[in-house]
Structure 1
Amino acid sequence: MTKEYNYVYQYLEKEGICIDKNEFEIQIQSHPQYPYLLAITDTLSFFNIQNGVIRAEFSEIELLPHNFAVLLKEEGKESQFYFIKKNKRNYTYYRDNTTVEVSEKQLKSLWCNTVFLIEKPESTNKENLCKPCLFVSLLFLIEICYALLYGSTSTLYSFQSLFFLVLILLTGSHGSV
């Protein structure tokens, strides 16, 4: 995996969004606008991740979310995107696997007015996983009550089969998400 997309991966991770990095790179490299920013935004849209690029003056930085990516121009280097995290008084970005903490004044001197934003989805997989767990727990409770009322051990064996069948079905449906 190329490090040119590290800012995207860091941003997605901080937002709690998981993607297959290999598939992402295959999709982006096959995009007609590769290696431009449009290829990145279109590829994220392909993965149903809402995103966008805006022009923002540094004076508008307070309007941005705590996590964002921005085009920065470091001295002696070409402009490139970095994942930025707002702290209380400073900003953090990652360069070559090192954390760089800068003041607002320092960040302003690097700022190139192009901001890349990713919108965190409203529902997460954790919420979706709770519903099947509740269903399995309810089945388990019903089966135990039935076994206690009628004293049948064969009921427990049939429940074990049903329990494992439900688990297989649930893991199969979430494995493709």
Structure 2
Amino acid sequence: MTTITLVRGDITRQQVDAVVNAANSSLLGGGGVDGAIHRAGGPEILAECRALRASHWGKGLPTGQAVATTAGRMPARWVIHTVGPVWSATEDRSGLLASCHRESLRVADELGARTVAFPAISTGVYRWPLDDAARIAMEAVRTTDTAVTEVRFVLFGEDAYTAFAAQQR
């Protein structure tokens, strides 16, 4: 059984096996959580991301998929990069957002990670409404068969924390 915990804080400082990065498809860093993870982890993360782009993910990581690299200088052992969907008022992309969580847990299982920290994927620059993102994320984690023992949602602001807390049962 997977325990779901919520914390307000900085995902780059979490003492977990793996941190999930809300990456962009290039895997080469960006803003928000992605930029913070690349800055905190140092050049080792970028080097492994470049190697991934040079091999299997030459066109970038597709939305809803996940892949792992080292966590570099962060306390975690691995970073699991996943590309969240951009929110759309005219197209239901909730399956892609759920896939980010399921695929990240699948990669965690392949790595042997037992504790995983997630951000609120797609809720920043990708504009996914917090309440809906929290509902999709929590449901995806609850219904995914995984050996991960703790999923920790690390939420940067009070609004995100409140949205995720409303989904806890």
More helix by share: 1
Whose Rg is larger?
Answer: 1
Question: TM-score higher than 0.5 here?
Answer: no
> Comparing both chains, which one has the higher relative contact order based on Cα–Cα distances under 8 Å and sequence gaps of 6 or more?
2
**With structure 1 as the length reference, what TM-score do the two structures score?**
0.29
